[in-house]
Chain A
Amino acid sequence: MKQEENFARPDAASGPGAYRQYAREWLHSHLPAHMRADSVDYRTPSLDECRDWEARMYQVGLAGMTWPTAYGGHGLSLREHLAVNKEVGALAMPESVSSIGKELAGPIIMAVGTEAQKQAFLPAILEMREYWCQGFSEPEAGSDLARLRTKATPDGDDWLIQGQKIWTSGAAKAHYCLLLTRTGTVADKHRGLLMFAVPMDTPGIRVVPIRSIDNKQSFAEVFFDQVRVPDSARLGAADEGWSAAIRVLSIERATNRMYRAWRFECELRQLVRAYQSEPALRGRLQEPGLRQAVGQVVSQIDGLKGLVERSVEQLQAGEPIGARGSLTKLYWSECHQAFASLALSMVADINPGHSALAQRAKAHFTQAYLFSRAESIYAGTTEVQLDVIAQRIQQLTKD
C-alpha cells in the first residue's frame, strides 16, 4: 500500500478529469483485496471495516464532494461527484453502509434543517460517526405513502410519536431515523406531514429485524411507542413534510448511488473474467448468443450512463431534476435485474472443480440475483415509477 502523501488531492479548479484520475489511483492502491467482491481473497467485510474505509475515503476527499465546506464537505460540483462515482463504480468495493445518511438525510437536512441541525448532523455523517435509516414505509402505507399513520402529537416543548414503520433498511445499526409522521388524521393525506430526526436509542423505539430472501436481515420493523423527542428534532416546518419527502424520493431516484452503471459494468467484467479464467468455460464466450446477451447488457449500461450523465448536466445547468429521477430509477432497476438473470444462468455452469475466480463469481452473482429482486420494489416500485412518468413527464390527461 502506498503512502498517503503520494496522492496529491486536486484543487477545486482542476476539474472533474483530474479528480477522476486521483480517485482511481487512490482507490486502487488503498482498497484491501479482501474487500473487493471480485477478488479470490474476498470475505464479507465487517461493519467496522466498511466504516473505516468510508471514513478514509471522506478524509482524502472522495466523499461529501458537493457538500459545503462549512459542514465538512469539499465544496465541489456534481461533476466532480460524478467523476469520483465512476471510479467508485469501477472498483468492486462494498456498498456504502451510510448511503441513507449521505445521500438522503444529508441533502434533506441541508435543504430544510436549522443551522444547529446542520452543524450537529452533517459532519457526523461524513465522518462515519453516525448512520441513518429512512422511516417512511408503513404496513398500510407503501406505494400510497400519503396514507401513513405514524402520529406526532405536540406535548409541551416536545413531540410524542406513536406508530410503526416497516422495511426500514439499516434500522438495527442506525443512530438516527429520518422519520415521516403526521400531525392530523389519515384523511389529511399529504397535508400535515412532519419530518423528524429521531435518535434510535430514544426510549420507546423497538427494532425487529426481518429476514429477506437473500438470507440477510438488512431491513426491519420499527415500532414507536410514545417516543418523546424535543422540538429541535423536527426537520422543517409543520406541513413541509410532504414536499421534503418528495424531495428525498426524487434525490433517491435521480442521484443516489450514482455509480450504479459503472458498478454494473465492473460486475459484468467480473463475470466475463470468471469465464475466461476457466478453460472449460472460455469457449462459450465465442458463442454468438452469449456475445449478443453480453452486448445487450453493455448497451443497457451505456443507456444508463447516458441518463445519469445527462441528469448531472441538467442539474449543473440549474434545471430541477423533479420527476425525471423516475426514468433513471426504472431503467437501472430493470437493467440490473436483466443482467442478474443472465449472470445467474451463466454461473450455473460453474462447478466446484473450477477456478477460485469462477467460484467467487458464482457466490457473488447468486447473491446479486437474489438481491436484485428488491430493485424493482424499493425506492418506489416499477408501477409507481410508470405512473410518475405517465403523469408528470409524458403529462397524460385522465379526462
Chain B
Amino acid sequence: MTMQSEELQPEEFGQAAQAVIAALQGQGPAEAAAAMADAGLFGICADEAQGGLGLPLAFAMPVVRVAGQMQLSYPLPEQIPASKALQGTEAGGQLLRGEKSLCVVMAAQAAGDWSGVARNGLQADYVLVQTDAGFALYDKAALRCQAEEMLDPEVPQLWVSTTGATPLLTLDAEQSQAFCADIKLLWAEYVNGLCAGALERTADYLQARVQFGRPLSAKQAVRHHLARMRLLLEASSAQAWRAQRADGCDAPREADSALAAALSQGAWVLEKAIHLHGGMGFTWELGLHRSLREHKKLDACLGAGALMRAVGADFIDRCEVTQ
C-alpha cells in the first residue's frame, strides 16, 4: 500500500486488507503483526514522516470492517488509531512497525483506583487506559492484570488496574478526544464487519440448506429475518460512514452514537445468524460464536447501554444550552 492517495479509494484498502488477512491463517501473533505492518495496515492514518500513509480515517474503516468480516482477533482496530495518536514516540513507532501490540481500556474509577477490561489484551505489550484526564499509556508489565476467560477461552479479556503504576506518557485533552472518536468509529465498523460476515454466511447457508423440499431461503419468515439483518447492517454502516465525516464538537457524539448502534443492532444480527443455522449454529466448529464473542467482549468493556445513555444525556444537555 504505497500508492498515492489521490488514486485510491477507501474500498481498495478493504480489498488489499482482505488479501493480507487471508494469508495470516495459522500464523502466530508476532508473524501476523509483522505481515500486517509490512502491508502498511497499522500506519494508514499515521503521518508519512513517521512511516505511515497519512490518510484520513475513511481509509481505515474498510480495513477494520474486513477484519471483522474475517474474524480477525488481533487488535487491529486499536492499533491503527494508536499508531497515529502515539506517533513520534517510541511506542508509536513500535506499534506502527508491528513490533509491539496494544490494547485499550476504558477504565472506571473505584475507591481512587482506575480499572477496566480490554477486549483482548493478553498478548498486548502496551495498555492505553482512559481515565477522567484522558488517555495514558502504560507498559503492560507495570500493571496489575488478570485474564478473564469466561466469555472467550481462546482470546480472553484482560482485566487491568493502574493502581501504583506510572504511565509512560499521557495524551493531552485534544489528542485524547481525537483518539477516542477514532477508536470508537473503528470499533463500530469492526462490529459491522463481524455482522456483515455473519450475514453473508447465513444467507449462503440458508440458500443451500433444503427443508420441506426447497431451500430454506424460499420461506418468507427466513427471508424477512435476513432482510432485517441486512437493514440493520446497512443503517449501522451508513451511520458509521456519516460519523466518520463529522467534525468539531459533533464528532465525539456521532462516534458514541455510531458505536452504540453497531453494538445494539449487531447483537441482534449475530444472535439471529446463529439461530438461523439451527443445530449447526450452536456448534463450536461453525465458528459464528467467535464473532459473537468478539462483539460481547467489546460490549462488556464499553457497554451499548452506557453509550446510549451518554448519547441521550448529551442530547438533553444540548436542548438546554440552545434554549
Contacts and interface: CB of A to CB of B under 8 A. Distances in A.
Interface string B102-144: 0000000000000000000000000000000000000000000
A48 B215 CA distance: 56
B261 A300 contact: yes
A298 B238 contact: no
The contact size tier of chain B is 35 or more
Interface stretch (A52-60, A247-255, A391-399): A391-399
Contacts of B218: 397-399
Contact of A302 (B215, B254, B313): B254
Contacts of B264: 296, 299
Given A294-B316, A299-B257, A307-B235, 12 more contacts: A268-B315, A276-B319, A288-B309, A294-B311, A294-B315, A303-B261, A309-B238, A310-B238, A310-B241, A386-B227, A390-B227, A393-B230
Given A276-B320, A387-B223, A306 B238 contact: yes
Chain A to chain B: the 3 pairs with minimum beta-carbon distance, closest first: A295-B312, A306-B238, A295-B308
Contacts of B215: 397-399
A198 B258 CA distance: 46
B309 A303 contact: no
B178 interface: no
B262 to A, nearest CB: 10
20 contacts: A272-B315, A291-B309, A292-B305, A294-B312, A295-B307, A298-B257, A298-B311, A298-B315, A299-B261, A299-B311, A309-B238, A327-B230, A383-B224, A386-B227, A387-B227, A390-B226, A396-B207, A396-B217, A396-B223, A399-B218
A293 B312 contact: yes
Contacts of B320: 276
Contact of B313 (A269, A276, A291): A291
B277 to A, nearest CB: 15
Interface string B252-281: 001001101100100000000000000000
Contacts of B231: 327, 330-331, 389
A386 B224 contact: yes
A272 B315 CA distance: 9
B87 interface: no
Contact of A276 (B257, B308, B323): B323
Contacts, number: 133
A305 interface: yes
A302 B323 contact: no
A302 B307 contact: no
B201 interface: no
B203 interface: yes
A295 B315 contact: yes
A302 B315 CA distance: 12
Contact of A303 (B226, B235, B316, B319): B235
Interface of A: 268-269, 272-273, 276, 285, 288, 290-296, 298-300, 302-307, 309-310, 327, 330-331, 383, 385-387, 389-391, 393-394, 396-399
B235 A273 contact: no
Contact of B214 (A293, A296, A299, A399): A399
A276 B319 CA distance: 9
A277 to B, nearest CB: 9
Nearest to B315: A298
Contact of B242 (A268, A296, A310): A310
B288 to A, nearest CB: 18
Interface in B291-323: 305, 307-313, 315-316, 319-320, 323
A293 B312 CA distance: 7
Contacts of A389: 227, 230-231
Q: Which of B206, B235, B260, B261 has the most CB of A within 10 A?
A: B235
Contacts of A307: 234-235, 238
B157 interface: no
A304 B264 CA distance: 15
Contacts of A331: 231, 235
